[in-house]
Amino acid sequence: MVSQSELVKEARENGMDLLPLDKDTYELFFGPQHMATENFSIILKMDGHRVVKAIANPGFLHRGFEKLAELRPWHTNIALLLRICVPEPDVPEAIYSMAVDEIIGWELPERAQWIRTTVLEMARVSAYLFWIMGLSFKLGVYTAGQWAAAYRERLMALFEQLTGARVYHIYTIPGGVRRDIPNDAWLRRLRDTVEYIKGKLPDFDHLVFENYITFRRMEGIGVMDKKFALAEGVTGPNIRATGVPYDVRRADPYLLYPELDFEIPVLEDGDALARALVRRYELEQDLYILEQLLEMGPPDGPYKVQDPKLKNLPRFKVPAGDAFAHVESTKGDFGAYVVSDGRNKPYRVQIRGPSIAHGIRVLEQLLVGARIADVPVILMSLDNCPPDIDR
């Protein structure tokens, strides 16, 4: 049994200048052991309930991917790089594969493009459901969160049937995808799942997005305007909530998106509520895109490039060159810059996660003056994803 006075004495002997820092402020470690931050730490200088100063402290998930990728063959890196964005692991696969395809100059067969687009959209839907779960847990309406996680499980099952894995499906490889769609029953199940989730959206509206208390909680919290957002490199739904209609799927079309019809929801007032509602509308749009893809149906043909280089993957070489590819993830503009020097390993892989812009400077500036109760709401409304900051 150690009494507190002894602890204080010991601390003073060790020279720890104890808090409060100033006359009337104190230091608060928000995370990493906290329910609202998944292994990401914010050091807050608090004055009562108000945040005076915030410092984001990333790096708890750093594994040095960009170094490891230089030591592994091209295709092995797929199994590595997808761990950069845990909620939607298909996005790093896709950007890396697109960059490699561009360096080699491969034209993907249509079936591969269809499968990639479908997988990306499924990943978006599941990531948005996961985000709804997080937001409602932070807001305290646990019912919606539980339901969202349960609906996400249906997509997980579909992923498992398609790729063989629940979360880390190492599926999108340079030159197509790893294996073909199992059968038509999978397509039917996907259609049923899309219909099911579409039918469940009103529940979320009643519980979260149209709730009086949610409006009171999120209105006018963490406001950023267009100029600020552009200067800070904000992308994705966060910048669309400030009135900038920037969506990579439209601005820099890839895969099948030029042929698909969908809207880009844009709201003007860039507060937490606007960001949340933009995500809510985008979930609807993604379900609509999936419906269109299912209407289109997978075109016939090979599901990956017919190339003898793909026979011996460890010796798979890529001509010298570099390429930048980016896709629209639920977090924002997710880009990869790949440099090759003609060997069987990449020379340099740089992954650009959107959260490196959202999670550091934007967060630090939005948190100043917020109440402690708003900190988790602002975090969730920015949809900050620590793994792609740390990489």
Partner 1 sequence: MVDWRLFEPLFDFARRKSLWIVAFCTGCGGIEMPPLMTSRYDLERFGMMPNPAPRMADLFLITGYVTPKTLKRIIITYEMQPDPKYVMAHGSCPLNGGIYWDAYNAIKHLDRYLPVDVIIAGCMPRPEAVMDGINKIMEMIENGTADGWKRYKENYEYYKKNQDELFGEGWREREARRWIPWLMNRKKEE
Partner 2 sequence: MADEQEKGGVSMREQAIIDGILTEAPYAEGKVRRERRVEFKVPADRIRDFLKLLREKGFELMLQITVVDWPKDGEYELVYQMWSIEHRTHAMVRTRIPRELDKARMPTVRDIYPVAETYERDAHDFFGVYFEGNEKMEMPWILDDTEQGLFPYRKDFDMLAYVKKKYMILDRFDENKDNYVI
Partner 3 sequence: MVVVVETALKAVLILLYATFVGFMFMGIIRIVTARIHRRVGPPIYQPILDTIKLLSKKSNITHGLIYDFGIIYALGATILALMFIPLGSIGILRMYGDLILITFLLEIPMLGIMFAAMSSGNPWAGLGSQRALLTLLAIQVPLGFAIVALAESYGTFSTYQIVMAQQSMGWSIIHLPLLLAAVAYDLVLQAMFGKEPFDIMIAPGEISLGPMVEFGGKHMGILQIQHAIALFAETLFFSNIFLGGAVITSFASPVLNTLASLGVLLIKQIAVLMIAIFMGAIFPRFTIDQAARFYWKWPTIIAATGAILAAL
Query: Does residue number 14 form part of the binding site for partner 3 (CB under 8 A)?
Result: no
Nearer to partner 1 by Cβ, of 39 and 365: the residue is 39
The pair phi, psi for residue 387, each rounded to 5°, is: -55, -35
Q: What track of x and - describes contact with partner 1 for positions 195 through 214 (by CB under 8 A)? A: --------------------
Contact 165, 156 (CB under 8 A): no
Q: Give least dist CB 142 to partner 3, A.
A: 7
Q: Tell me the torsion sign for CA atoms 355, 34, 241, 271.
A: negative
- Region binding partner 1 by CB under 8 A among candidate stretches 57-65, 218-226, 316-324, 364-372: 57-65
Exactly one of 31, 58, 174, 265 binds partner 2 (CB under 8 A); that residue is 58
Residue with tokens 């893809």: 293
Q: What track of x and - describes contact with partner 2 for positions 271 through 310 (by CB under 8 A)? A: ----------------------------------------
Torsional class of 306: left (φ above 0), alpha (ψ -120 to 50), beta (otherwise): beta
Nearer to partner 1 by Cβ, of 144 and 274: the residue is 144
Q: Give least dist CB 11 to partner 3, A.
A: 12
Q: What track of x and - describes contact with partner 2 for positions 221 through 240 (by CB under 8 A)? A: ---------xxxx-x-----
Query: Does residue number 376 form part of the binding site for partner 3 (CB under 8 A)?
Result: yes
Q: Give least dist CB 32 to partner 2, A.
A: 13
- Region binding partner 1 by CB under 8 A among candidate stretches 36-44, 178-186, 270-278, 347-355: 36-44
Distance CA 72, CA 67 (A): 9
DSSP for 3-38, written as a single string = -HHHHHHHHHHTT--PSPSSSS-EEEEE-SBSSSSB
Distance CA 365, CA 370 (A): 10
Nearer to partner 3 by Cβ, of 141 and 294: the residue is 141
Q: Give least dist CB 14 to partner 2, A.
A: 18
Query: Does residue number 108 form part of the binding site for partner 2 (CB under 8 A)?
Result: no
Contact 337, 81 (CB under 8 A): no
Exactly one of 77, 136, 355, 381 binds partner 3 (CB under 8 A); that residue is 136
Compute how many residues bind partner 2; rule: CB under 8 A. Answer: 44
3-state secondary structure (DSSP) of residue 328: strand
Q: Give least dist CB 171 to partner 1, A.
A: 15
For the record, the structure tokens of 352 come out as 């650009």
Query: Does residue number 105 form part of the binding site for partner 1 (CB under 8 A)?
Result: no
Query: Does residue number 39 form part of the binding site for partner 1 (CB under 8 A)?
Result: yes
Nearer to partner 3 by Cβ, of 14 and 33: the residue is 33
For the record, the structure tokens of 86 come out as 């845990």
Strands (E), the chain: 26-30, 41-47, 50-57, 172-173, 176-177, 321-328, 333-340, 348-352
DSSP for 257-302, written as a single string = GGG--------SS-SHHHHHHHHHHHHHHHHHHHHHHHHH-PPSS-
Residues that bind partner 3 (CB under 8 A): 1-5, 19, 26-28, 34-36, 46, 48-49, 136-143, 146-147, 150, 207-208, 211, 213-214, 216-217, 371-376
